[in-house]
């Protein structure tokens, strides 16, 4: 059915862990077939050869890592999936016997089609029934997480109402909002003496900080307060909070998109991942391999030991650790 795939389509399926890869010269203990773990794909670019391999006995065996991803997603989108059921006698073809109890997406038919579609197939698709009762809607959960993190970050981050250069020399405002490029800078609701700033005033402020940057007025020894009187552009407290909120929302979006099963993680782990992404710009599996290994194993102590960041204060690292350790239990 998929003989006509282009190289790019084939690669895409392999990166997503949907298509097994054949080993030309398996070493001792290696199988002829393997998949990669699709959870290792990151936002930008991933090389197939750098991804974790998962050996399977035959090309018909579903990818265990992808199974886990789909089982987790099915908790929120049960109608998208079914469980493959065979009749269980010895006439079931081998390729279908390997699918018994596995989960499949209605959007993505396996080789030979969905149950009952292949010639003489007696298999059936059993509807997926979620384990949890979802008394909280996705939107309510999202709101709860955003509110919790906003309160936490408002305390943790120092909201600056004026522009400053961060330690790397990037123009910044509020709680670390990067406005180094003019395109981002001009979108801010700047004020001068409580009234909206004019285009000229905005441009003058931008250029002033561009100069300070050229003159290397930044680094660990230059505090943000040094910049207070360098321009009269200000943001209101409301604007600062709004920027913070936008920042958290964007981070949450990315986590929901790129971290499989994020919605079903314990609330404490969701908070910490959100804080890591907020603060470092990345909470990917590839940047935090030990953390995700512990997450895969539901190993709470292992997670707590792998949330430390070099560039944040001791209290923030402590908060992350304690928030993880407060997770009571997280079983399958």
Please say which residue, 15 or 121, places its beta carbon nearer to Zn ion. Answer: 121
Cα(251)–Cα(279) distance, rounded to whole angstroms?
10
Q: Least Å distance between CB 65 and Zn ion?
A: 24
Binding mask 85-104 for Zn ion (x = CB under 5 A): -----------x--------
Q: Which residue has tokens 């065996």? A: 61
Cα(272)–Cα(292) distance, rounded to whole angstroms?
13
Cα(332)–Cα(325) distance, rounded to whole angstroms?
18
Number of residues that bind Zn ion (CB under 5 A): 3
Q: Which residue has tokens 């949907």? A: 18
Q: Contact, 158 vs 175, CB < 8 A?
A: yes
Per-position DSSP letters for 19-32, written without gaps between them: S-EE-SSPPTT--S
Q: Least Å distance between CB 328 and Zn ion?
A: 42
Please say which residue, 102 or 274, places its beta carbon nearer to Zn ion. Answer: 102
**Of the candidates 330, 284, 326, which has an alpha carbon nearest to the alpha carbon of residue 292?**
284
Q: Least Å distance between CB 35 and Zn ion?
A: 22
Please say which residue, 85 or 298, places its beta carbon nearer to Zn ion. Answer: 85
Please say which residue, 88 or 220, places its beta carbon nearer to Zn ion. Answer: 88
Q: Least Å distance between CB 86 and Zn ion?
A: 6
Please say which residue, 114 or 171, places its beta carbon nearer to Zn ion. Answer: 114
Q: Least Å distance between CB 107 and Zn ion?
A: 20
Write out the binding residues for Zn ion, residues 169-228 only, by CB under 5 A.
none
Phi and psi angles of residue 141, each rounded to the nearest 5 degrees, phi first: -60, -45
Write out the binding residues for Zn ion, residues 107-136 only, by CB under 5 A.
121, 123
Q: In what order do the strands lie in the sheet with 21-22?
A: 21-22, 33-36, 53-56
Binding site for Zn ion (CB under 5 A): 96, 121, 123
């Amino acid at each position: 059915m998929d003989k006509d795939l282009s190289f790019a389509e084939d690669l895409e399926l392999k990166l997503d862990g949907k298509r097994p890869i054949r080993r030309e010269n398996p070493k001792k203990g290696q199988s002829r077939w393997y998949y990669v773990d699709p959870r290792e794909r990151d936002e930008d670019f991933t090389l197939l050869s750098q991804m974790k391999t998962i050996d399977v006995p035959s090309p018909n065996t579903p990818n265990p890592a992808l199974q886990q991803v789909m089982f987790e997603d099915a908790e929120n989108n049960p109608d998208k999936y079914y469980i493959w059921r065979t009749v269980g006698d010895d006439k079931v073809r081998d390729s279908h016997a390997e699918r018994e109890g596995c989960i499949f997406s209605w959007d993505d038919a396996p080789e030979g089609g969905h149950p009952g579609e292949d010639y003489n197939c007696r298999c059936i698709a059993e509807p997926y029934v979620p384990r949890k009762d979802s008394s909280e809607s996705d939107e309510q959960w999202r709101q709860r997480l955003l509110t919790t993190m906003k309160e936490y970050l408002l305390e943790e981050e120092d909201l600056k109402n004026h522009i400053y250069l961060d330690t790397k020399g990037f123009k910044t405002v509020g709680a670390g909002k990067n406005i180094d490029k003019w395109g981002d800078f001009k979108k801010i609701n700047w004020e001068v003496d409580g009234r909206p700033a004019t285009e000229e005033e905005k441009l003058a402020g931008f250029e002033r900080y561009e100069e300070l940057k050229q003159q290397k007025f930044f680094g660990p020894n230059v505090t943000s307060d040094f910049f207070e009187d360098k321009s009269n552009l200000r943001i209101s407290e409301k604007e600062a909070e709004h920027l913070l909120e936008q920042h958290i929302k964007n981070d949450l979006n990315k986590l929901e998109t790129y971290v499989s099963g994020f919605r079903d993680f314990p609330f404490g782990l969701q908070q910490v991942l959100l804080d890591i992404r907020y603060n470092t710009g990345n909470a990917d599996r590839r940047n935090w391999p030990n953390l995700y290994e512990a997450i895969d194993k539901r190993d709470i102590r292992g997670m707590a030991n792998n949330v430390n960041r070099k560039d944040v204060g001791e209290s923030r690292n402590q908060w992350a650790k304690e928030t993880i350790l407060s997770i009571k239990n997280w079983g399958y």
